[in-house]
A and B are shown apart, each in its own frame.
Chain A
Amino acid sequence: MASKREKEWEALARQVSEDLERERQSQVQDDDDEDDQDDDTEYYVEVPLEDSEAMLDVAEPVGFQQALPPQDEEELELDPPGPAQDLESIELQEPEEVPWLRLHPASLFVNLVPRTWKTLVGMWPLLLLVVVGGSSSEDFALADFAWVGLFLLSGVGSTVVHYLTLRYRVNGNKLEIKQGLLNRQARVIDPARIQNVGEVRNIFHNLTGLVEVRIETAGDVRTEGVLSALSVQNANGLIAALEAARGRAPRVRPEEEPEQPLLALGLGELLAFGLSKASIGLVAVVLAVGLEVIPLFSPAETASTLENLSPLAVVGGLLLTLVLSWLGSACLSVVRHFRYTLRREPDPDPRQVALASKEGLFTTRRMRVPLSKVQLVLADEPVLRRAMGFGTLNVETAGLGSIQEGVSAAELVVPMVDREELPGLTQVALPGLDVNPWRVALNPAHPRALYRMMVSGTLQGFGLSVLAVWLLPGWFALLALGVLPVIWLTRVLDWRAQGWLVTPDVVLSRRGFWRRRTWVMSRDKLQSVHLAQGPLMRFHGLGRLAVRVAGSQVVLPDIGWDQADALLDELRPLPVLELE
């Protein structure tokens, strides 16, 4: 095992050094059979199983000519792609060596802050140790600054190494990315598996006029390829080459916006979006962190302050934090979604018709989601937003998002959609949708499900009441009396809000009163169906059905076991219809 791994590593190292050599010499390479064979064997080092399997399906790697526009940087010195060849000669020849491309030199500047920050975040336990542990002695400042300096330097180092070692190209119908000095990675991505190609610009990209290209494929948690940063020209070239590798004509990207946007959000709507967000969780986190950290610095003062604090001040402080974080979250939403526009990009190829969004004040984000890749649409309508007459639409694709960005990176989020337009927009995202999810009568959850919810709610409410009596001072403990009725009411409302429907084309599920969410899943994307039943559910004869698609799932409200079992047998992916 070890020797195989070593061999792979050696081969990879040899390949990388060969390529570096080749580039330095900027010479035209002759077709070299041996060399090309090396290419084929060595590049499967880090490819996940499913990818390597899918690769077998790809057409023979014929001498694909990359349709890259001339480069403005040093790549220009490399030999430009040869003239187009006719089919016969292509099939006879070994693939011509496609030059490796690298990041734009200014990406050093672009990546410096984010990468250093990432390094710092990655080392937070060490940093914490430095800050907390070193505080007793007097040379605290100097030693700590040295440590922090060291961390910063390692961030700078990683940026430089990243820039110097990253190479990419589209070769033989596959995107190849290699990087790393000590820990070498070579990745081969089959363009047919690409779910989204996103372009992101943060403030640094905007300053330098560069763009970050993100490539997401199905079935993997990380973003497969992140290229930060490329010149706009190189980025367009790469995207065009990927399109061509998928056997499509390069998409024409007109400079001016093609047609009226489906949706454009103004400042007022974005503010309303931020304010109608549930931000209690954030408050809890801020408070918890605050309570943990403050005593670290001045334990004595904290203790005396806490003793003298009146309950009113506590409640006041809580309210203030709540309001501040509420406003803060609203501001963040405005910054993130600033000047939001959503467009439908038509295309002669029906599988390429896409939804494209553009947003952001400092970081401009563009998301483009081909409709053929949409797995499900989730409409999120928290009670406040619902009262304002709006809802949020998440269009989910199979790219699971990257570790840095969280799961939301794989979604195209439409923050504020007028209630009247929700069905229409859902229909745009899921052209197969055959019902109006907001008008159609849904099947209710099983009556026994309400009973179950009430029992579990009562237990929770009882626990909360006890906690309230124990923790709250004096008359505030009376609040405990209100807990149970509120929970009962909520459960009834929640139960009434639940509903589900299976039509020939979609699976529909709705849950939640305070935060009403409606999942609409296209049935031809179905991957598997799962049914679960705990002991209490068995007592009530209930079952919980979950329908999985790539990267997500739809859970139906609790229904009768027999009905759920029948659905398990009935739900099958439909035979894929050929698009005319």
Chain B
Amino acid sequence: MNLPETPTSLDSRVKWLWRAQSMLRVLLFWLPLSVAVAYGLASLTGQAAAVVVGLTLLGLAVLLALFWPALRYQYFTYSVREQDLLVERGVVIRRKSSIPHNRIQHVDTRQGPIERVLGLSSLAVYTAAGMSADGSIPGLATGQAEAIRDELSRRGGDDGV
């Protein structure tokens, strides 16, 4: 498998991974919060208004959970260039990280339960600066993730500390 030398998007299945994760968050966090807000408001503003506020909050959370992953996917690219691993991401705050190959100490791939179902893996890159969140790539096809991991570990150099 050849490695992408120009900015490349993640595996498109990652959108489903992110949607699933966001929906979980809606269920575990936003749903209880909306109910709590509505309940708290009921005594102040009357029931009708409270229900509207609660439903709006929940609706927004669900909408974001459904549509944000597509945006996130659109702005997430990575490339294994000659000298570094380049990761670009972020919808609101754009981030671009360059991790030189010879500073990579350790690369590993991991797979959560949802990722396993979708056949995806995420890649985590470690340097001596500690685990760098900007250097991790979620949602790669498992084979691709492993190919990149092996290639990056092969190129890794001194820690420069």
Contact = CB atoms under 8 A, between A and B. Distances in A.
Interface of A: 49-50, 53-54, 193, 195, 218-219, 373, 375, 398, 524-535, 538, 548-551, 553, 565, 568-569, 571-573, 576
13 contacts: A373-B161, A526-B100, A526-B160, A527-B128, A527-B129, A528-B132, A528-B135, A529-B97, A530-B96, A532-B93, A535-B93, A550-B161, A573-B160
Contact of B134 (A49, A50, A53, A528): A528
A572 B97 contact: no
A546 to B, nearest CB: 9
A285 B102 CA distance: 45
Given A50-B105, A548-B129, A530 B93 contact: no
Please list the 5 inter-chain residue pairs (A to B) with the smallest Cβ-Cβ separation, ordered nearest first. A527-B129, A550-B128, A531-B96, A528-B99, A218-B161
Contacts of B127: 527-528, 548, 550
Interface string B63-101: 000000000000000000001100000101111111110
Contacts of A375: 161
Chain A CB within 10 A, most for which of B92, B99, B159: B159
B129 A528 contact: yes
Contacts, number: 96
Given A53-B106, A569-B98, A218 B92 contact: no
Given A50-B105, A550-B129, A573-B103, A531 B160 contact: no
A411 to B, nearest CB: 15
Main secondary structure of the interface of B (DSSP, over half): mixed
Interface string B122-161: 0000111110101100000000000000000000001111
Chain B CB within 10 A, most for which of A193, A568, A573: A573
Given A50-B105, A50-B106, A572-B100, A530 B158 contact: no
B103 A526 contact: yes
Nearest to A522: B160
B13 to A, nearest CB: 27
A193 B134 CA distance: 25
B98 A527 contact: no
Given A219-B128, A373-B161, A534-B93, A528 B98 contact: yes
A528 B93 CA distance: 19
Contacts of B135: 528
A529 B88 CA distance: 12
A533 B160 contact: no
A365 B87 CA distance: 43
Contact of B103 (A195, A373, A528): A528
B94 A538 contact: yes
Contact of A218 (B95, B97, B98, B128): B128
Contacts of B106: 49-50, 53
B96 A565 contact: yes
A576 B129 contact: no
Given A49-B126, A528-B135, A553-B129, 16 more contacts: A49-B108, A53-B105, A219-B129, A219-B161, A373-B161, A525-B160, A526-B100, A527-B103, A529-B97, A530-B97, A530-B134, A532-B96, A533-B94, A550-B160, A551-B130, A572-B100
